[in-house]
A and B are shown apart, each in its own frame.
Chain A
Amino acid sequence: MTRVLVVDDAATVRLYHTSLLQEAGFEVAEAANGLEAVEAAMTTPFDLFVVDVNMPKMNGYACVETLRSETVGTAAPVLMISTEDRPGDADRAYQAGANLYLVKPVAAERLVRVATMLTAGKDPEA
């Protein structure tokens, strides 16, 4: 089972991403902000993170930085999905440690395609 953590403060968007990924056969957990995501990642290994940028308590950039820091230390791919589409937004995501930055709303098949591609090489034993 490939485990994905969907991190977004908007319940509707979470439901959208979660149901798409579940249909595609992923095992999905949810977090409503960066802090919850970090907590979840510290207790459970995930194979992919789908992270929103604008969130209360801890925004997506800080969340990804923490995931990549020694605190969590996960090298699992991070897909950032945000409504922000200003020059520099994507770069901030990449500097934080994201592997792909997409602008909301992401088409259903694209989300599944990218998630599948990024997790294709994961070690089944992980």
Chain B
Amino acid sequence: MNPLLAQFLAEANDLLASVDDGLLQLERNPGDPELVNEVFRAAHTFKGSSGLFDFPELTRLTHAAEDLLDAVRGGRLALDSGMTDDLLAAFDLIRGWLAHVTAHERLPATAGQDAAGLITKLRAPLGGGEAAAADQETPLSVRPIDPPPQWLAHLGTEWLIDTATWLGTTSSTLRFVRYLPDQDCFFRAEDPLHLVRQVPGLDRLAVIPPESWPAAEEYDEYACLLSFVVATRAAVGELDYLFRYVPDQVTVVELDAAAIHRHLEGEDEAEFAVPAPPPRPDALHVDPELAADARAVLTAAHRTLAVGEPAGTQLAALSASVTAAAHALGVPLDLTGADQEAVNAAIEGLLGRAPVEPAAEPPAVDHPVIPALVAPPAPVPAEPTGRADDPGGQVGTRVLKVDQEKVDRLMELVGELNVAKNGLTFLAAAAEEEFGSRALSRRIKDQYAGLHRIAEELQAAVMDVRMLPLSVAFGRFPRLVRDLSRRLGKTIELVTEGEDTMADKDVIEALGDPLVHLVRNSLDHGIETSDERVAAGKAPAARLTLAAVADGDAVLVEVSDDGRGVDPVRVKRKAYEKGLITEEELESLSDSEAVDLVFRPGFSTADQISDLSGRGVGMDAVRASVEKLGGSVTMRSEWGSGTTTRLRLPLSMAVTQVMVVSVAGQRFGVPVDLVVETVRVPAAEMGRVLHQDVVVMRGEVVPVIDLARALEMPWEPDSARDLAVLVVSVNGQRIGLLVEQFHREVDVILKPMEGLLAYAAEFSGTALLGDGLVLLVLNLKEVLGLAARVA
């Protein structure tokens, strides 16, 4: 993809996000001028950038949206939710298109059809387009009536007869314009149709096709072959002004009833061509396009002197631009110290002399794309200026947009560096054991220590790059809550807090689905309708809060509502009916334990499954996906006043510290977060309670699981030696794991199990160690479950 398009797509994402965000905020604070401006600006910038590419549908749709926003901005329209829906729909469609552009570098074939309805909808509040300027009663100019030109015929005889009658009865006149756009006006960024549509007081418009269309294979779709004939009530001055950039392509005549009758009777003036200034003997031989640009500069300067009183720097700049234009036309000119009048006179002299453009051949370009799209510009090497006061390069851009893949690649390399670094420790051990050189071993260890520090810092730096604010995860909710609350007929205020809290992008991305589920649950089951709320003595509008806060190396995300909460009695009864709990538990479970039942697989309290959250996915899936991230979920609820679900997630999933242990000669990893301590217990101190090995530590009875047995590996502990027990904390419970040997702690990049191995739930993933060994990292929860089944 060419860099310009890539840049556009990257920028478009940000702009569309701010449009969405602004629109939703606007719904809550209608008429906030700051917000309207913000949304309008984003839409406007987006439209401007889209115009660089050949995506006409995209530009058209954005334009319609922008015009609507402009009307809101100008106070001509009040934004209602119907309009907001249309605007959101338009930008959703655009987002879909951009995804297609990202993949195929063009809009989907259906873009035109998809956009048509929306454009109509968006334009509807504007009265189907800007109403033509109200007829201004222009005082009748004492302009002579022109001879009727032949091209009046394009307007249709019937209409001409009617108009002549009307002009006769009102003894008024009408202006007629013929506009012959240049064939290659596209390449000068002129838009003839747009220009014609801007003619005020438009009475009739005829679009005239060329006498003969070129053959299909020679057809150049970027050559303008159409011309226009217009009847308008606008004053001649207005028309001159409107067509000020293309005066040589326009003919304006003023006609009354008699003149039209003369035309109808066939007394046309001889058809005259475009009124070109008489060829002058001293017409200069200059590149026609350059001449056109020079003339544009002169016209601009002329206009400046007409609308303002430039003085000082302004006048100096104006004189300089006039001099430059004159220079381009090959006329030496010195306006140093000239006053306005002198400059004006110089301009008028020059404008009389600027050569008229011949109708140029359309340039042989077969794409509207600008050269920059065809050939990416070669980077220009910065010239060393050696001057301290010359910043030269970028002004004010301190933010780099980096492709995610590049960052991921960096992260991978950091992981590999860590693995390679770990290899040094093995080398140090080998130096001592195999080669008997303790000195060398120590030097390798020193080298390792230095390398380790740098690798750690590098890792931290890359991780920092990968950090994103939680607002990225929260971003989709204003829209979701709005759409769902409207569908459910509930009034909900969404509050977000702590969206600046940062976490690794993988965590942020993985957080999306669980959050959506929790929010849907809240809207669906937790929050009552306004009537219910009022009956319960609450405010009619419910409040849903998304809050994030950093907590050491973890981030806490809470979804809370002030809805009806979870009814512990009802939950227990449901769980009992579904056979999830026994009769004793039904009696003995506390309210908070009862709330926790909603996380059990197969539990759903919704009496009727709605289309929102009744997708066969329950809170158990939320818990599972959060735990897969290395996090945990807890829920607090107070019956009648609301529910809070708290997710606790690691700041990053990229690097995990694991403790290496071995069983039956095979090494396994256990996440360090879960490790409480390592102890050696004399075999005699191991006790048994209810067929369960236990060990008493500091007065606490800790059950001990034989890891080898849980993993079905052949190994018997040597009863003559002390037993190695790794004490871990799982779900708040202390459990000892009987292992063969403890090893060190290592930092690893955990890779999830893939393919068929993804079903091996007892492992949370694999990691590559420095000595090349593939380490299986245990998922202790599952392992303990296995142990229970084995026992």
Contacts and interface: CB of A to CB of B under 8 A. Distances in A.
Interface of A: 1, 5, 9-13, 15-16, 19-20, 22-23, 27, 29-32, 36-37, 39-40, 43-44, 52, 54, 56, 68-70, 73-78, 83, 85-87, 90-91, 94-95, 97-110, 113-114, 117-121
A83 B323 contact: no
27 contacts: A10-B49, A12-B52, A13-B52, A15-B3, A16-B4, A22-B377, A29-B391, A29-B394, A30-B394, A40-B391, A44-B389, A75-B316, A77-B317, A77-B324, A83-B47, A97-B317, A99-B301, A100-B297, A105-B48, A105-B189, A109-B187, A109-B289, A117-B294, A117-B324, A117-B325, A119-B324, A121-B327
Interface string B356-391: 000000000000001110001110100100000111
Nearest to B184: A107
A126 B242 CA distance: 39
Contacts of B52: 12-13, 16, 105
Most chain A beta-carbon contacts within 10 A, residue among B241, B303, B321: B321
Contacts of B45: 9-10, 54
Contacts of A104: 48, 51, 189
A7 B218 CA distance: 40
B308 A94 contact: yes
B16 interface: no
The 5 A-B pairs at the shortest CB distance, nearest first, are namely: A99-B321, A94-B304, A19-B377, A12-B49, A75-B316
A65 B321 CA distance: 17
B393 A74 contact: no
Given A10-B49, A68-B313, A87-B198, 10 more contacts: A27-B392, A30-B396, A32-B397, A56-B41, A91-B303, A99-B317, A105-B52, A110-B188, A117-B290, A117-B297
Contact of A106 (B7, B11, B189, B397): B189
Given A40-B395, A94-B303, A110-B188, A78 B317 contact: yes
Interface residues of B, number: 66
Nearest to A29: B395
Contacts of B599: none
B289 A113 contact: yes
A44 B316 CA distance: 19
A114 B297 contact: yes
Nearest to A35: B396
A69 B314 CA distance: 8
Contact of B11 (A12, A44, A108): A12
Contacts of B397: 30, 32
B189 A103 contact: yes
Given A56-B41, A100-B297, A68 B314 contact: yes
A113 B288 CA distance: 12
B44 interface: yes
A100 B293 CA distance: 9
A101 to B, nearest CB: 6
Contacts of B371: 20, 108
B492 interface: no
Interface in B289-315: 289-290, 293-294, 296-297, 300-301, 303-304, 307-308, 310, 312-314
Contacts of A16: 4, 52, 370, 372
